[in-house]
Structure 1
Amino acid sequence: MNAVDDVLEAVRAGRTAQLPGLLEPLDPAQRRVLLTGLKELRRTLRSSRSEQWQDRNLMNPALVVAGAGCNSGAAAAAAWIGATDLRRWTQLPPAATLLDVLAGRDPKWLGDLAHRLAARSATAEEDYPLIRELVRLAGCPMPTTDGCVEGWSMAMASARAPLVFALREDPHVATLVPCLFTTAEPVRSFTSWTLEPGHSHHWPTALATLADEGHVARTTLLDGCVARLLRGGRAAQLRPYQAILEALRPTGEEERERAADWIALAADAPSAVAGSAQQTLARLAASGLLTPRMLAEMSGAVLFRPEKKLVRAQLVLLGKELARRPAAAPEILPELAEAFGHADTDIQERALKLAAAHLTDDPALRAGLADRARLLSPAHRARAVEVFGAGAAPDEETGPYREVLPPPPVPVLLAPAPETVAEAVELVAAVVHARTSTVEEFERALDGLVRHAHQDRAALAEALRPALAGRWWLDPAQAHHYTHELPSLEHVAAAVLDMPPSAEPPPALVTWRSDCSHTALHAVTHARVKEAALRITSRPLPFLLATPTTECGALDPRVLIARLAEYDRLGEDPAPADFAQALLRVRRDAAVLPLAAALGTPAGDRLASWLGAAGQPVPVTRRTAGAERYAYGGGAPARLVMDTGERTAVLRGFPHAFRELAGARESAGLCWDGGEDASLIAVLPGDRETLAAWWLPHVTAAAVHQAREGATALPLLAAAGGPAGPALHLAVATGLGARYPEDRLRAVDALLTLAARDDLNALRLGGDLAELIGLGTVKPGRLADSLRTAAATGACATTWAVLAAVLPALLTGTVDPRGAGDLLATAAECVEQCGADSPEPAGLAATASRGGKSRLVIQAARLRDALRRNEKKSESAA
């Protein structure tokens, strides 16, 4: 065995530590030969099956070392060392071993290699120990790429010595510390620390100490932190830079030099950062270092923000400055008027009082403030007229209030089935290779496969095979790994290509998670796909009966009748699962029942029966489920759930796979399977009550367990067919209290859709919300945010109708009134806008008459007064 074979044998055996000694005697020619063998071995490992992971885990470190010693160019060596396939199953070999095989290289070559490794964003952080040693040997500057900075910062943070000691002793600290503030994303070692300021590895304390000792320029840290904060980002990402800034304790002069930056942060930064900048500017103002123009600029920006805490603090600051410098009033008061349009009427009142206290005789100033005062709530308009004159009175109303609701959703027709084989194959490939697909894409692709397999299966297979090249089940070496497990459309494609499962699938889909209702919907989809695949290999169907006519999954009954007539003409019997799905999708229309009966076929008779009594939606039953406790110590409060009844007609005449869909169901505690897949609505698009009952645990998780995407299906459920009863209203009510704003927005969309379709029962929805607040499922603050959003779209009357049913429970002590102030504020705003003169909610007058200045009392009085004003207007108009 020669020297080259010895190295290859060592690589195959994973003897990485022996490689430097084996490579040392090889000349350049031998290394080139060896490199060819290493590339072949690497290619073999890369194409091996997943069960050979142990071989890759053994050989990859040795391959990295051997290839590094054989590549003569720095670019090739960097590409080899940084290759992701060589470290997919293991860590990079020790830097010392790699340095041994690179010994004797020219320092310039080593420096080139270091910078090329640092430029590889995917691996530079992991390669930092090697890069550091290469830089030391080459005597070249340290690279400053983001990955290199990440690796350096992690190395410093994980040092055994205190962080400040490690930084002091590092030769690259002056080069890399400024880069901590310029990386594309915040440095992870910053954002991941949770240590107290006194801890030995606390970054802010360590950097401030370095600045005090002169190892790093103080201005570098100050400017770096400010620049990073100005770039923006999530609060958690900016918190470390704010902490560094606080640890530096800027002097008054340093703060004054950056006054423009503090103003920009106060205007646009997240609340915590903006609040800190506001405090800095307040100190500058108290020291006389902030000009009236700068104070006015800052005020206009801060008073525009929605955060009440920041706005109130700004009003306090303006009050102090106006009292200290009355001459600045003409410059500051116009910006103060920005608070007249704030959503919080308490802030409006404070701003009005402040303006009245410092108003001058300047007619232009008074006229400008009067014009802006028209933004004030009706509760403050009388006082505004007293202060600013008649110009503050609002314009005469141009007409009665008009509710603005979105147009009712119009069903979007499904595009026709693909006409040519090429079109069908293109669509199938797009669906198979995509992560997700819409109802339209899936249904058209499935129908296209069925149609063209019936017309010319050989031509379809010829075009389909190259379009699906790369799918694992087309590889003969791997095809034996599946039986019935191919997902969805691929199951049918495999039948077209004559590659059916190697074993008969079980009679029903997985049932170990049958407590979740979505399993039944998956079972129906699976049964239909399985049936289509089997029929392609035995007796292909001419087309599918269940292909919907609209993108929501609904099927026009006249279209289904025409399809059944064509089946009869062709002498074709409906496939059981396909026809069953068609019945579940068909839109109920009693007018076409005679047309179905006139077909004179068994299928026509079944359709007529289904359009009559057999296909009526099942009842849903509401109950309160007890609190849950889990083994790991967590839990959830009691909650409202909906149980669904039995579909007798489905149990009797539908295929076995539909039985789980038809049985009576008690609501599951949690939704485990498919709650985020809104396309499942297309299985049962005409019964949104049942669907809402089944989706309710998923929506509840978004409110109680703080799960994301829990309300994804709500807008689609609101737009689906069938009655809008207690289950759908309860699901929407729960979604309005979801943890995350995006889920609450979906619930608002559903609420407005129901209102636009005239399906909304505001009294029922309000009652559900009151009960959910009492159970703790919905928090009043989140609900107030949702209803403010609904009102902001122009649906003030709808929002008030819901709130009118919620408030009595909060005001009469039925449920905990905490958070009721925000709901009362939203209700008052709606009443003021829409002019509602409905009766006062129970408990409102008593709450408004309480003493004190709490938000609850102030907003209750505002709502009471608005209702009474509207009542007087109605009486006057009559």
Structure 2
Amino acid sequence: MSALTDAVRAGRTSEVVGLLDGMTAAERRAELPELKALRKELRADRWSSEATRAHPALHAAGAVCQTGAAAVASWLAGTDMRWSQSSPELLLHLLGDRDPDWLADVAHRLAERPTGTNVPYELMAGLVRLSGCPVPTTEAYVQGWVWHLGGTWREGDTLVERLRKEPHLAALVPAMFETNEVGSSLWWLGSEGPDSWPGALSQLAEERVLERKTLIDVCVARLLRGGQTNGLRVCLRLLKALALTREEQRERTADWLALASDSLSLVASHAQSVLAALVLDGDLLPRQLAEMSEAVLFRTEKKLVRAQLTLLGKVLAREPSAADLLLPAAAQAFGHRDPDVQERALKLVERHAGKVAAPEARDELVASAEQLIPSLRSRAAEALGATAPAPEPLVHEEVLPPAPEPIRLPLAPESATELAEEISALLESADDVAAFEGALDGIVRQAHVNREALLEALDPVAGRCWWDQRPKPGDLSQADQHFSTHHGLADPSDALALILATFRGRVGTATLQASLQRWTVSTGCVHGPLACAFEARVWEIAHRLRTDPLPFLLSTPTWSTGLLDPDELVERLDAYKSSGVRVAECDFAQALLRVGREDRPAAEAAAGRARALGTAEGTRLAQWLTAGDPALPLDRQRTSDTRVLLEFGEVEELQADFPQEFRHLGRRVAAPRKGWCYRHWNIGLRRHWLAVLPERRELVAVRILRDLSAVALDDEKGAAEILPPLAESGGEAGEAVHLCLAYGLGARHEQDRLGAVDALLVLAARGQLDADRLGADLGQLVRRGAVKPTRLAESARTAAATGAEVTVWRVLRHALPILLADLAGAAAPGSSGSTAVARGLGELLGVAAECVERSGARGELPHLARAADRRGASRLVSQARRLRDALNREAAA
């Protein structure tokens, strides 16, 4: 080993610098092979104390001993030394004597690297300074520059002063707005005032340090391109700080029109205000205003639509001759989903209909009026001098999506290489139950018949994983240390890592044996029994891989829902019997819980074949298949304050003849304690819990009910993505499933509400939706403040828009009387009061009225008349009247 390599290994940076300064270029090149070998050695355990000590010196020495610019840039940006680099000052000292063109090449190559490689800005900027080359305007360089300016605030000068010192300011400022992420990172330097980016840049433009036109152009271009909200907000603030003149605004009319029609709401609002000023100053033609209106009135934001209608009213009052152009444009709002917007647009048309001269314009208005809600169509006909529409017939056909069919899972890959490719993808995310179960069974099968080939195929996959580092003699591997002290598998990928680490010899037998013997279920965690059953099976599979390999798993599901065909399980038990294989206890228990029993003829036929096997497992399977439909607890009760939860009694059939790890699935379920912190935070685990009990979704739903309540009450995100799989699962869809769905429909985040709507439609399509129960639950949750009526209205409107108006009305028909009773003062004790209930109730009544108008439903709704007879013209009152009229409307003959 050379003196340089020895100093690098020891981390003696000063000595390394001295040795390198005294070497010729040829001597440095000669050192490179040893340095590469050392890097490869340290890469095997990059987080060890030896690697951490050596990497800064190795980072510098390897870069200096390279010859080509590409090789140097690659070495400096290496991922294995990303967190233990040499300082930029030291690297610039060592590289500073190179040719300027070579330094420029290195600088630009580093700047072209992704931002995640963490190349220091100070190093790139230093190379640019030494070489005198043009400054790079890549994302990595510009983002580094922005963060560097923010990091020097302690020097006491202002942002404006720091920017004035930048020699490449004219190139870097426009580049900020051209890169993807930089603009959105400016907010933290201050969003308001002279020391904010908008304030500083506008001041430099005023001083003519920066060109004003360039700043305006790059801001508008960034707004047109779109991006993250924070970045767009910075652009808007800069535009406002620049205080565009009327001429500068007029020059960009086409840009404002594009932004008003197709951009984020805050951007569209600004563009709309600029255009409105141009319109009122006479700088925008009626034709351009009509084009703008047709685009803006198509948007869903009520604030933008109302502002546009107001602008149209002002122009029509001033220029009556423009009615032929502007009123048909205003009629675009007739199709808006908000009835209040429709009525506002109709009032505008009523006010100015007499100014329409062209017959084709009037015909266009009459055609557009067909989009209005029924209660407004007669008014439109009267205003336009058209024939009033006839009442609509009662015939309505409910449109529901087809009920999803379970997918039969493919056989495990026969090739070790193909299996390794699937495992590589699953290590990133193993939330897909079918893929996870297939990979699990594939590993067991290949390990039994093709062990060496699978080990070889897994080498490149496992080599990238933290758990595959080989320990030194006498030491435990990282995987063994991790899993020996585990407090549960964090997620499905962690479970797969345990299986693979065991297969590759990174987890010891003692660790596996100890884990099998220490299973307990935390009585405080409502998820505990589900997690315990899932994890116990995984640990058992790992233990058998090490001690007594299985030929295949008994419990691998047949279908995507986690269900296992009875005949298939009988065949697997027969193959075990023929081969003399000892059954794995948890694997067999999971197979029993997955085997289908709802198809009674198929279950009883399979029971006879199972009994004929003459084995203990065959007899147990036969007893299980003939025991009847999957049982649910008879003892069920609600607990509630603001949050409504459920408590279940015991399920006796899950207590006897099951391993201890599975018996907790049938134990009593108590409502989780307030403020209790759960460790099962991973959303992907819940799909696997459904596959533990694929014909007992109620037992899963009751244990995830509090998680679902958090999407509505605590504004959490993501938990409702389990709702569609829950709806597709088997077993009774009872009180727990419907309560989970009710919380999902009132979720804070749109993606969660969409998942709940999907689940609602799936249950309806399968004939498993209890609309009365769901409606009553929603009414109670809204009444208690657990679900906001505006959020529920959004979900209901989305579901109705798919064609499920009848289903949505059946639900709302049972929810609304509870809320209207509060409003009418007829509520039961404990209600939250009429003020809280009334907030957002108008939106819900509007959706109900829309469903009734489209479906032709008729009848009475308790307490609706009291709400409709209230004084005033609030949204609640107007929509209550609309719903009452729709329910009482006579149909066409």
What's the TM-score, normalizing by structure 1? 0.90
Q: Which residue of 1 aligns with 2:24?
A: 27
Q: Could you tell which deviates more after superposition, 818-827 or 133-142?
A: 133-142
In the superposition, relative to structure 1, how do residues 530 and 510 fare at CA in structure 2: closer, same or farther (>3 Å)?
A: closer
Cα deviation 1:48-92 (Å, max 9, x = unaligned): 363x2x33333322223333433343333333333332232x354
Q: In the alignment, is residue 411 of structure 1 matched against residue 406 of structure 2?
A: yes
Matches within 5 A, 1:61-460: 61-88=56-83, 90-95=84-89, 97-122=90-115, 126-159=119-152, 160=155, 161-198=157-194, 200=195, 202-359=196-353, 360-390=356-386, 393=389, 400-416=395-411, 420=414, 422=416, 425=419, 429=423, 433=427, 435-436=429-430, 438-450=432-444, 457=448, 459-460=449-450
Cα deviation 1:107-164 (Å, max 9, x = unaligned): 3333333223222234787432233233333332222222111122222333331011
In the superposition, relative to structure 1, how do residues 698 and 288 fare at CA in structure 2: closer, same or farther (>3 Å)?
A: same
In the superposition, relative to structure 1, how do residues 365 and 476 fare at CA in structure 2: closer, same or farther (>3 Å)?
A: closer
Q: Structure 1 CA distance, aligned partners of 2:772 and 2:631?
A: 26
Structure 1 residue 236, shift from structure 2 partner: 2.6
Structure 1 residue 585, shift from structure 2 partner: 1.5
In the superposition, relative to structure 1, how do residues 653 and 150 fare at CA in structure 2: closer, same or farther (>3 Å)?
A: same
Q: Structure 2 CA distance, aligned partners of 1:836 and 1:849?
A: 21
Query: Matched residue of 1:801: which SS?
Result: helix
Cα deviation 1:5-54 (Å, max 9, x = unaligned): 2x44543443435554443332223222233333333333222363x2x3
Q: Which residue of 2 aligns with 1:612?
A: 627
Q: Structure 2 CA distance, aligned partners of 1:689 and 1:242?
A: 51
Q: In the alignment, is residue 665 of structure 1 matched against residue 665 of structure 2?
A: no
Is residue 730–residue 768 contact of structure 1 (8 Å, CA) maintained in 2? yes
Q: Structure 2 CA distance, aligned partners of 1:509 and 1:741?
A: 42
Among 613, 631, 639, the alignment partner of 1:624 is 639
Q: In the alignment, is residue 821 of structure 1 matched against residue 842 of structure 2?
A: yes
Structure 1 residue 241, shift from structure 2 partner: 0.6
Q: In the alignment, is residue 649 of structure 1 matched against residue 653 of structure 2?
A: yes
AA aligned to 1:667 is A
AA aligned to 2:759 is A
Q: Structure 1 CA distance, aligned partners of 2:24 and 2:553?
A: 70
Cα deviation 1:324-362 (Å, max 9, x = unaligned): 111111111221110111111121112112122222232
Q: In the alignment, is residue 738 of structure 1 matched against residue 742 of structure 2?
A: no
Q: Structure 1 CA distance, aligned partners of 2:547 and 2:185?
A: 61
Query: Matched residue of 2:214: which SS?
Result: helix
Cα deviation 1:254-279 (Å, max 9, x = unaligned): 11111111111111111111111111
Is residue 524–residue 683 contact of structure 1 (8 Å, CA) maintained in 2? yes
Query: Matched residue of 1:712: which SS?
Result: helix
Is residue 671–residue 698 contact of structure 1 (8 Å, CA) maintained in 2? no
Cα deviation 1:657-709 (Å, max 9, x = unaligned): 21232322213355531543212211100111111111112212222222221
Cα deviation 1:760-804 (Å, max 9, x = unaligned): 111211111122123322111111111111100101011111111
Structure 1 residue 414, shift from structure 2 partner: 2.6
In the superposition, relative to structure 1, how do residues 593 and 135 fare at CA in structure 2: closer, same or farther (>3 Å)?
A: closer
AA aligned to 2:31 is L
AA aligned to 2:453 is A
Q: In the alignment, is residue 833 of structure 1 matched against residue 854 of structure 2?
A: yes
Q: In the alignment, is residue 640 of structure 1 matched against residue 644 of structure 2?
A: yes
Among 822, 840, 843, the alignment partner of 2:863 is 843
Among 716, 723, 726, the alignment partner of 1:714 is 723
RMSD: 3.0
Q: Structure 2 CA distance, aligned partners of 1:566 and 1:495?
A: 26
Query: Matched residue of 1:653: which SS?
Result: coil
Among 439, 443, 457, the alignment partner of 1:467 is 457
In the superposition, relative to structure 1, how do residues 289 and 731 fare at CA in structure 2: closer, same or farther (>3 Å)?
A: same
Q: Structure 1 CA distance, aligned partners of 2:113 and 2:549?
A: 53
Q: Which residue of 2 aligns with 1:861?
A: 881
AA aligned to 1:99 is L
In the superposition, relative to structure 1, how do residues 63 and 563 fare at CA in structure 2: closer, same or farther (>3 Å)?
A: closer
AA aligned to 1:128 is Y
Q: Could you tell which deviates more after superposition, 222-231 or 467-476?
A: 467-476
Q: Unaligned stretches of 5+ in structure 1?
A: 627-637
What's the TM-score, normalizing by structure 2? 0.88
Is residue 59–residue 85 contact of structure 2 (8 Å, CA) maintained in 1? no
Q: Could you tell which deviates more after superposition, 525-534 or 139-148?
A: 525-534
Q: Structure 2 CA distance, aligned partners of 1:789 and 1:687?
A: 29
Q: Which residue of 2 aligns with 1:632?
A: none
In the superposition, relative to structure 1, how do residues 547 and 367 fare at CA in structure 2: closer, same or farther (>3 Å)?
A: same
Q: Structure 2 CA distance, aligned partners of 1:214 and 1:850?
A: 63
Is residue 688–residue 721 contact of structure 1 (8 Å, CA) maintained in 2? yes
Is residue 208–residue 244 contact of structure 1 (8 Å, CA) maintained in 2? yes
In the superposition, relative to structure 1, how do residues 139 and 328 fare at CA in structure 2: closer, same or farther (>3 Å)?
A: same
Cα deviation 1:479-533 (Å, max 9, x = unaligned): 7444566954566667777887330233456657553343322322333344445
Q: Which residue of 2 aligns with 1:551?
A: 560
In the superposition, relative to structure 1, how do residues 567 and 394 fare at CA in structure 2: closer, same or farther (>3 Å)?
A: farther
Q: Structure 2 CA distance, aligned partners of 1:147 and 1:37?
A: 31
Among 776, 795, 799, the alignment partner of 2:804 is 795
Q: Unaligned stretches of 5+ in structure 2?
A: none
Structure 1 residue 212, shift from structure 2 partner: 0.6
Q: Structure 1 CA distance, aligned partners of 2:420 and 2:161?
A: 62
Query: Matched residue of 2:450: which SS?
Result: helix
Query: Matched residue of 1:624: which SS?
Result: strand
Q: How many residue pairs were aligned?
A: 846
Matches within 5 A, 1:665-684: 665-668=669-672, 669=676, 671-673=678-680, 674-677=682-685, 678-684=687-693
Q: Could you tell which deviates more after superposition, 315-324 or 484-493?
A: 484-493
AA aligned to 2:65 is C
Q: Could you tell which deviates more after superposition, 228-237 or 777-786?
A: 228-237
Cα deviation 1:168-215 (Å, max 9, x = unaligned): 2221111211111111334354143444324x3x00000000111101
Is residue 427–residue 441 contact of structure 1 (8 Å, CA) maintained in 2? no
Is residue 370–residue 391 contact of structure 1 (8 Å, CA) maintained in 2? no
Among 37, 41, 50, the alignment partner of 1:40 is 37
Structure 1 residue 845, shift from structure 2 partner: 1.3
Cα deviation 1:429-451 (Å, max 9, x = unaligned): 45764531533333334444555
Q: Structure 1 CA distance, aligned partners of 2:158 and 2:291?
A: 44
Query: Matched residue of 1:652: which SS?
Result: coil
Is residue 421–residue 460 contact of structure 1 (8 Å, CA) maintained in 2? no
Structure 1 residue 235, shift from structure 2 partner: 2.5
In the superposition, relative to structure 1, how do residues 726 and 434 fare at CA in structure 2: closer, same or farther (>3 Å)?
A: same
In the superposition, relative to structure 1, how do residues 480 and 177 fare at CA in structure 2: closer, same or farther (>3 Å)?
A: closer
Q: Structure 2 CA distance, aligned partners of 1:616 and 1:764?
A: 21
Q: Structure 1 CA distance, aligned partners of 2:579 and 2:81?
A: 59
Query: Matched residue of 2:50: which SS?
Result: helix
Q: Structure 1 CA distance, aligned partners of 2:576 and 2:44?
A: 48
Q: Structure 1 CA distance, aligned partners of 2:446 and 2:97?
A: 66
Q: Structure 1 CA distance, aligned partners of 2:658 and 2:764?
A: 36
Query: Matched residue of 1:256: which SS?
Result: helix
